[in-house]
Amino acid sequence: METWDAIRARRNVRTYLPDPIADHDPDRIVEAGWRAPSASNRQHWDFVIVTDHAQLQELSTVWRGAGHIASAPAAIALVVPQPPDERTKLIDQYDLGQATLAMTIAATDLGIGTGHSSVGDQDKARAILGVPDDHVVSYLLGVGYPADRPFKPIDKPDRRPFDEVVHRGRW
């Protein structure tokens, strides 16, 4: 798939086929996150790839919007050190957003769906993943083949009208 087509086809996927994804695909998806831009090239992130069904079941309980993780063949946890101040927190979250988008586009290119989730219960998430207490499990990304339909560019996305969003020179 061409990059522009992957961007236009990407959507949140929260129902997955039970088929496992190829062993090398999670590494390729995470590599896209690893290659994402990072402020001052700090790369505070760590990524945890999870494929164990019991672990995925447990992870699905760390946030009310994480239920789809239970049925995903894999998940990726995005982890950063506990920020020392608000500025670092904002920068780290921005960096994770860039890494997440890179991973979702790379997954779409492979025909693999992703669905993101926040993490509410930090203690539980850290325990499930073996993450040190001085780190934050910021997000989870469910990963698997879409159960409903394959990817194709979306001609009419559910978005605010382009001309209402884009301003030229001034608001």
Tell me which amino acid residue 87 is: R
Extract the tokens encoding 8: 């236009």
**Residue 80 belongs to what H/E stretch?**
strand 74-81
Mean pLDDT score, 41-56? 98
Question: Three-state DSSP class for 65?
Answer: coil
**In-domain check, residue 169:** no
Structural domain boundaries enclosing 123: 3-147
- Residue 36 pLDDT: 98
**In-domain check, residue 94:** yes
- CB neighbourhood size of 28 (10 A): 15
Mean pLDDT score, 101-121? 97
Mean pLDDT score, 104-124? 97
**In-domain check, residue 50:** yes
**In-domain check, residue 28:** yes
**How many domains in the chain?**
1
Look up the pTM and report it.
Answer: 0.95
- Residue 140 pLDDT: 98
Q: What CATH number is given to the structural domain containing 107?
A: 3.40.109.10
**In-domain check, residue 15:** yes
Mean pLDDT score, 40-62? 98
Query: For 13-25, how does the pLDDT look when each residue is reduced to its tens digit (9 = 90+)?
Result: 999 999 999 999 9
CA distance from start to end of the chain: 35
**In-domain check, residue 61:** yes
Mean pLDDT score, 44-61? 98
Give the pLDDT band (50/70/90) at residue 91. very high
Calculate what percentage of the chain has a pLDDT beyond 70: 100
Question: Three-state DSSP class for 138?
Answer: strand
**In-domain check, residue 162:** no
- Residue 1 pLDDT: 72
- Residue 97 pLDDT: 98
**In-domain check, residue 152:** no
